[in-house]
Structure 1
Amino acid sequence: MVSECSESYENAGLYPALILFTFIKPYMADPVYTVSSEVDRNRAILKAYATTVNYRKVVDFESIFSSQPRYTLKLDAVPSYANDWRGRAEQCKEVLQKLAGVNPNPHKCPVTGADYWKYIKSPVIPFEQSFPPDVVFEFSGEDFEASEEEQQPAQRTVGVQTDYRENETQTDPYSPEYVLHPGTGPSELLQLASLTWGHGLPAGLAEVEMIERMRAKQVWEASLPPMHDLSQLDKRRRMMVEMEAKEWAFREEEIQKLHDARLAVLMDLRLQGNEAENEAAYNRLTQIYAARLREKDLKLEKIHKVYMRCKASNCVDGTFLLNKIEEEAVETKEKRLRLLIKKEKPPPAAVTPTVETPPEEDEQTEFAVICLQKLLRGRRTQYEMFQGKENNQELIRELRKLHTLQSEEQELNKAEKKHIMTLKEKRDEQMNKALQEEACQAAVVGQTLTQLFDSLSKELVLLQEERRIHAFTLMAERERRKREAEESGRRQLEERRRREGDEIFRQIVQVHQESVDMYLEDIILGYVERVADEQSREEIRRKAEQLNDVAYALEKSRRRLCQSWCTAFLSLKLRRLTSEKEVRFYKLM
């Protein structure tokens, strides 16, 4: 295959040379050359364009030539503006076909053959019987007999559909007012007056249980000892404590039932939420799996088409002759392992603890202790039986005498029994008196303790209120001090800022004043110098004239000349001092 497909390339513009599979442009030399992506293909094209040598294909032998116009020899390379990668065009074509709803490979149904019946349809013609024109059929007389009119009833029940439903028109039933006679309690029906429609009515199992509990409580209240009987106060208190314990137990049971019901509802809601989440996750995973399967099928179909097309072509993949990949793999193998990570061995597992087997002497001692405990329990049970027999000796004796004594002895026994009953009655009376005294004492003590506890509780409440008020005052005082500190801090900060502002303003005013003073001083000094210069010039001119006159006069008298010179010098000095005083006065202003 390689020898038959050998090719030579002629260097354009240089000298002919035979080059076997120099893959500068492998996408041109290999018709089935593929890369991983379009980016790699563009990179290979740029690498090929970067070379300075241009090549063109030249056939070595004549067996490749063909006379067919479709397989003529093409010497020109692929132009630079041509994009011969059909992957993006195929993707665009598939997207357009999906959007248009067109199947690229529809099933062709031939008109002839097995699908011929699909193109044939019998006409829809109504069935009509054809009779000869001289045939007339006889009609039955029943069709022309007059039917008797049906007797309509005088009254009829007609259903009417209203605009309202029954539950919308249902209202609470009218309950008339009632008055209880003094001394009589409410009846059982009046005790159920709190039940209304939708709140207890119609009655269910809970309402029936509530009525039963109410009846049982009425029976229990009727069985209570009266309040004025001081001898049965303990019994009444005990019965009330037992009833209160029963009511608390019933209430706890009701709360537990409500808690269990709410817990069951929450568990059902949680299970429903979990089921909904699982179902949504399963549907989502199913959709993703179906989409991945469709993508896999499409990719497999494309790969199969490309594979069949490559298999049909008589060529060899030029990458088989490349040794670059193998050399890189060998170099990679020979390199040092940079990512080598040492795996530390896990610490050894802890030793399983063991229990030492007790010696036989300890086991025997333990068995002896157990046997001794059994003997002590039996002796205790025997002693309890003996003590019960001794405590009930009189009853046992009476039971024995009941069957063995004769009539005389029975009379004696009756007398003795009567004496015993009288003694018992006296003892009961004494016990009742003692109980009454104890009850009175307990009532007095209870009343005293009640007053004492009431006063103590009030004192405790007052003390708690005082402590709470004291705590409030402390908190208010602390808040006040905190606010005062914050206010003093803010005041100091404001005062410091005000002083800073005043100092800044004073310095700015001072700078402005100094600037004005310097400006005025410069103006005054310039004006004074100019005026002094003018005056001096004029004075000099005038003095020159005077000097000329004086010179003429001095020629006559030297004394007069000296006096005039001294006078001139002194006048100039005085004027200069006067001008300096005026300048200082302007500066002070």
Structure 2
Amino acid sequence: MSHVVTIEEPQANLQVSQTRGGVRSRAWGNVSTSRQYDFLYDPLFIVSSEKDHTQATIQANLIRNRLRKVPRFRTMFSNLIHYPRYSLYWSKADPVPPFIRREWKGQEEKHTEALRQLTTTGESFQMTKEAYEDPEVTGRNRYKYFERPFLPFQQMPFNVVFAATKTEAYIFPPTPAKYPPVPSKYTVGTQTDYRDAEVQTDPYSPEYVVCQDSIPELLTLATLTWGRGLPAGQAEVEMIERAREKRAWEATLPSLSDSFQFEKRRRMMNVMERKEWAFREQEIEKLQEIRLEILKELLRKRDENQNEVNMKHLNARWSQLQEAKEAKLARIQHTHVSAIRKLVGKRKNIEGKLERRNIIRDYCDYASQVYGPLSRLGRFPDNNSEDFVVKNHYLNTYEGLVELESRLPDFVTQPRIRPPKPKVTTTKAGFLKRAARMDHELAEVHKAILDKKNRVLEPKKVLRFLQRKALPQPRLPTPTLEMSSNEEEDIEMAVIYLQKLLRGRAVQNMMFEGKEKRLELIQELRTSHALQEDDRLLKKAEKQVTLALQRQRNLHEHKVSLVENHLAGLEGRVLADMFDFLSKELVRLQEERRIHAFAMLAERQRRMREAEESGRRQVEQRRLREEDQIFKEVIKVHQSTVTSYLEDIILNTEENTAEEQARAEIEKMAKEINDIAYEMESRRTQLQSEEIVAELVYSFLIPEVQKDYVKEKVRNAQRKHILAAHQIIHSHTEDMVNKDFVEQQQDEAVSDTDELPEGETQK
């Protein structure tokens, strides 16, 4: 089978089919891998479904080859957008003949396959088999089954290509009138290069027999299949463990026939239901977290892809601008070099004199064009320089280089280095040479200069015994007080006296507050320090009396404490028994109340969980309804979008078609009117021309003059009224302006008079 390539030329839009062994076409254009209607004509063109067949039909109908350019004669040479040179018309001619079927070929194949399956399942149904003609592979159609190789270096001789095969020709049996029934099963042997684990889709499950009154645990895992739970992972193991726990729990449930254990069974089922709901909530939370992570990852990938696309766009734009910049710089550089060259040429001959060529000077100057002609003048001295390139086996190949290196002597590849002899700086008599002495002095000077240049200035050290000399603060200027009168002096003295009184009273209050606050300390100091002899004796006597009173009080307290201890022992035993009884009663009451509180709390928690579960169920139902409504709205929006899109396309098509037809009719009508006008113009006489001029004058010129005269007359009549109105308006405005000016002057005068007394009072 030969491959077909379609080449579209941009000028004529011709389709040229090029086979594999044909001559390569040199036409410029876009190359497509298939033709427009291959899905209808080509029997080997296969589409996967009816949807792809419909898509191929739409693409073939929307191809630009069916658009025809119709020139517009009035704007044929226009380059403006709003005056196009041509219009695009959709060609209504259908390139596909009517006898070609446009349906999808897969329907026939499905019908044939259904009939074939029906024949295999039902032996009573007989299907007429297709009878194929003899293809005559070894006969007249033999050339269709051979093809020359396309590789240029592996061409097969013609005697091999067209040689007849030694095998005998296959003889097709005659078409029988009635076919035997087709068996329902076939045994087909296959051989594969893959392992069993790679080709096996579902592991083999052998048949089994379940014993009576036994439920194997393995049968509970029948829902797990290969790829959907098998091989088992951590989630499947947890599920199996939960199933085992549930079966064990079901075994511990009281039977339904026992009416006494019915309440216990209900409580156990409630507890298990709460556990299942809690586990379900955890699973839902895990799924939501996984979905959230997936959504975050998708958003991150989308951002990365968007950033990558933006960076690609920016890099492409930057490359484009950089190329434009480089091209512009090259163009400017070229222009600059050309201008400089012209200026240099003009500067050499400022006076504009014509000089003949000096052949001797040209041949003496090796930089002249005789030895190095300029390529921009059309001279290429190095033309065909590749003919003079030396091609040597020893220089162009690795083996030649190795052979050449082996033939070279050792000192070429392994250079010999001799150490230099030391420089003699002394004479035979042992004295230092003048040049050596000069070099030593220069080296010393150079070293001193470098040391001075690279020397770093040491920071100044702080003196050890440095002391700052304190400068005396400048004396504040002595205030001077100027008294203007005796009354002010008396007032100031009175104020100073009042300040003294207030300060003294404040100090007195501070001293009184301090005395009251430290009164105990003052008394303690008075009792222990700075006392006279009599006071000391008096204090000593008071001390002895106080000590005697303390001893008596201690004795009395000791006696009282002994009596109180005996009484307290008696009271303690009675109180201990009573408190023991009361504490036990209190503990019993607390435990009773606590148990009651626990019962109430459990009942409240049960009600709260029931309410939460009902609320959760309502939320789930509401979410399901919202999702259904959202889906309906999305479908509705899609349908409305498709409807509006189709309506826009139909309306735009109708408007464009109507506009184009109207333009065509208008152009046709204008052409007819233009022909009639030209015909009337050709038949018109001098008298008719004068009549036309007279009609134009009486119809347009004279009425316009009369209109201007009437307008001027009306304008003159209205002018006096306008002047009167202007006088009235301007007279009132002038009076108001004069009045405002007088009021402003009066206000300024009043403000000046108000400011004068204030200034005098300040002075």
TM-score above 0.5: no
Category of TM-score, reference length = shorter chain: under 0.3
Q: Which has the larger radius of gyration?
A: 1
Please, what TM-score do these two structures have when normalized by structure 2? 0.20
- Report the TM-score, using the length of structure 1 for normalisation: 0.25
Comparing both chains, which one has the higher relative contact order based on Cα–Cα distances under 8 Å and sequence gaps of 6 or more? Answer: 1
